[in-house]
Chain A
């Protein structure tokens, strides 16, 4: 998931004032919002900064796989919808960088951490978009998974993050519907379109399940994050929920989910599904995804090629102020 912890946390020393800490924990437990000026434990600040900035990076890197199809969208209407969608993602990145900045790290620092490979972003964006059906599959599955993870975060303990999530979630549901609408057109289209639709599901299914992060037994910080209300469900709970909602949608499309072990389990009232290839997941987290190099190259180039523009804007602003003062 965009917000699943992908970076190792160093051991957090607890040197905080126990009284402040107790008061803080009590406020969080009472579902109060923590605001930028409030006291907070250093570890909370660090974990949140990492989580929010990782989410912001995911929105920005996530513009690339879909941006890849804007110039090739097959109708004027689809082009406008896709443009609006990718623009929304840029907006999400912006709100989230702003939310993270309230914790004391500048956007510049966060961007540098991304470009140096130190900061992570969602593994899902390291897979290529090969056909137009991939744009449908991303909206349907990737935005669908994002919603599942982000709706609970509207009640996360950090005020600016929770408020950013409220705005973002509204738009993500729109993205999910548009993606599914593309899949409906493709799955009911010509044989070539059906082939693209099935192929897209084949390629995006497992990476979408990986978006929810490592299995709970390998997610050591989950308990702490849940206590702090910066995570509200475990990875496996969310993954199960996603599978249960998505499989009937695939059936409605007449497409086959690429998992021979997928079966309805009457007893648990949900689907059983096959083992995720965790070796692949951890490789992608390490930066070895199929198009990880392309994604980072595109981001670095945009940033480096834009340096003279940002410098010019700063220089102009300085000149303007100087002239005003003179």
Chain B
């Protein structure tokens, strides 16, 4: 167990907040480089929503900017999926499909959280995330059922991210404490629904689901992939270089 967040509520806020921050940062890397102008605009939309969600969650957990820009890898609580590199457009879409399908199911349930802030947050974010999930599903279908090349790339993107799905449903002690206190839904309750939802998108995309792979875990406890350190180095460089500056 890491040392920074012992309070289950704070830990839970960091998990959701860091997911949104890290995924938002990743998606924003596309800005200006999308395959077509309309996609550039959609991707910027996703990034904006995610940075907005991160701001709400991290400000609730403490000082949002302090948390975003002055923590190191071991204290980040995001899942491994969101920190994966963008790769090509298909890999980005695969990551977004797998994460936002989960996030949407979570937020639907989080609306009933006993915690007033989390419930209100979920009411607001669930609409945004429904749009994200739809966008990712539509692109998965277009690419899967497009050309031979796009189908191959889409399959590769899914294969890259597939091993990171089990972490989304992992319940460790901190998570169990959040569930027991009534603030967080138990993700295991919707794992089957999740698997079915992904399977149905893939069927429409005429893609085979990748074979299940050995789960990779650890992000929720600060044990990340090598990718996160580089993402943080870029994101945090200004506030860390000039700690006294106000921007």
- When C-beta atoms are compared, the residue in chain A nearest to B58 turns out to be A76
Q: What are some 8 contacts across the A-B interface (CB < 8 A)?
A: A84-B44, A301-B33, A306-B89, A309-B143, A309-B150, A311-B150, A315-B146, A316-B145
Interface residues of B in 108-136 (CB under 8 A from A): none
A64 at the interface (CB under 8 A from B): yes
List residues of chain B with CB within 8 A of the CB of A74: 69, 238-239, 245, 247
Q: In the complex where A97-B37, A305-B35, A308-B153 touch, is A84 in contact with B48 (Cβ < 8 A)?
A: yes
From B28, B40, B54, B147, contact of A90 by CB (8 A): B40
User: Cβ of A311 and Cβ of B28 under 8 Å apart?
Assistant: no
Extra 4 A-B pairs, beta carbons < 8 Å, given A63-B32, A76-B21, A311-B147? A71-B235, A76-B68, A78-B247, A80-B55
Q: Which interface class (under 10, 10 to 19, 20 to 34, 35 or more) fits A?
A: 35 or more
Asked if A83 contacts B48 (CB within 8 A), the reply is yes
Q: Write the nearest CB–CB distance from A107 to chain B, whole angstroms.
A: 8
Of A77, A78, A90, the most chain B CB neighbours within 10 A belong to A90
> With an 8 A cutoff between CB atoms, is A293 at the interface?
no
Q: How far is the CB of A279 from chain B (nearest CB, A)?
A: 30
Q: Does A221 belong to the interface (CB within 8 Å)?
A: no
Decide yes or no whether B169 CB sits under 8 A from chain A: no
Taken together as a complex, chains A and B put the C-alpha atoms of A79 and B149 apart, in Å, by 35
Within 8 A of B (CB), among A77-111: 77-80, 83-84, 86-87, 90-91, 93-94, 97
| Contact residue among B55, B146, B149, B246 (Cβ-Cβ distance under 8 Å from A189) | B246
CB neighbours of B31 from chain A (8 A): 63, 67, 70, 83, 86-87
Which of chain A's residues have a CB closer than 8 A to the CB of B32?
Answer: 63-64, 67, 86, 90, 298, 302
Q: Chain B's interface: helix, strand, loop or mixed, by majority?
A: helix
Bits for A179-190, please: 1 = Cβ < 8 Å to B, else 0: 000100110011
Q: Is the CB of A315 within 8 A of B147?
A: yes
Contacts of B36 on A, CB cut-off 8 Å?
A: 306, 309-310
In the complex, whether B172 has a CB less than 8 A from a CB of chain A is no
Is A312 in contact with B150, judged by CB distance below 8 angstroms? yes
A307 nearest in chain B by CB position: B35
Chain B residues within CB distance 8 Å of chain A: 21, 25, 28-29, 31-41, 44-45, 47-48, 51-52, 54-55, 58, 64-65, 68-69, 88-89, 141-143, 145-147, 149-150, 153, 234-235, 237-239, 242, 244-247
- Which residues on the A side are within 8 Å of B41 (C-beta)? 87, 90-91, 94
Contact between A298 and B33, CB atoms less than 8 A apart? yes
Given contacts A74-B247, A90-B40, A189-B246, contact A79 B51 (CB under 8 A): yes
**Cβ contact within 8 Å between A72 and B234:** yes
Q: Tell me if A192 is interfacial: C-beta within 8 Å of chain B.
A: yes
**Top 7 closest A-B pairs, CB basis?**
A306-B35, A312-B146, A312-B150, A87-B44, A67-B32, A309-B35, A63-B32
> Are B34 and A83 neighbours in the complex by a CB distance under 8 Å?
no
**Considering the chains assembled together, what is the distance between the CA atoms of A173 and B234 in angstroms?**
30
Q: Which of B28, B29, B239 contacts A75 (CB 8 A)?
A: B239
Q: Give every chain B residue within 8 A of A83 (Cβ-Cβ).
A: 28, 31, 44, 47-48, 51
CB atoms of B55 and A77 under 8 A apart: yes
**Pairwise interchain contact A132-B238, C-beta atoms closer than 8 A:** yes
Q: Which of A287-326 contact B (CB under 8 A)?
A: 298, 301-303, 305-313, 315-316, 319
Q: Which of chain B's residues has its CB closest to A56's CB?
A: B37
Q: Which residues of A contact B65 (CB under 8 A)?
A: 75-76
B48 nearest CB neighbor, chain A only: A83
In the complex, the answer to whether B150 meets A79 with C-beta atoms within 8 Å is no
In the bound assembly, the distance between CA atoms of A308 and B39 in angstroms comes to: 14
The residues of A that contact B142 with a CB separation of less than 8 Å are 312-313, 316
Give B230 Cβ to nearest chain A Cβ, in Å.
Answer: 11
Question: Is A114 at the interface (CB under 8 A from chain B)?
Answer: no
Question: B176: shortest Cβ distance to chain A, in Å?
Answer: 30
Task: Tell me if A48 is interfacial: C-beta within 8 Å of chain B.
Answer: no
Tell me the minimal C-beta distance from B117 to chain A in angstroms: 17
A90–B44 Cα distance when bound, in Å, is 10
Q: How far is the CB of A160 from chain B (nearest CB, A)?
A: 17
Centre residue among B141, B149, B245 by max chain A CB count within 10 A: B245
Output the least CB separation between B139 and chain A (Å): 9
Q: What A residues does B246 contact at CB under 8 A?
A: 185, 189
| B48 contacts A312, C-beta separation under 8 Å | no
What's the Cα separation between A83 and B43 when bound, in Å?
10
Bound: A192/B145 CA distance, A? 53
Using Cβ atoms and an 8 Å threshold, which residues of chain A touch B150? 308-309, 311-312, 315
CB distance from B25 to the nearest CB of A (A): 6
B28 touches A70 (CB 8 A): yes
Q: How many angstroms from the CA of A83 to the CA of B26 in the assembled complex?
A: 13
- A298 to B32 alpha-carbon distance, docked (Å): 9
Residues of chain A lying within 8 A (CB to CB) of residue B37: 60, 90, 93-94, 97
**Is A193 part of the contact surface with B, judged by Cβ < 8 Å?**
yes
CA distance A251 to B31 in the complex (A): 34
Query: B54 to nearest A CB, angstroms?
Result: 7
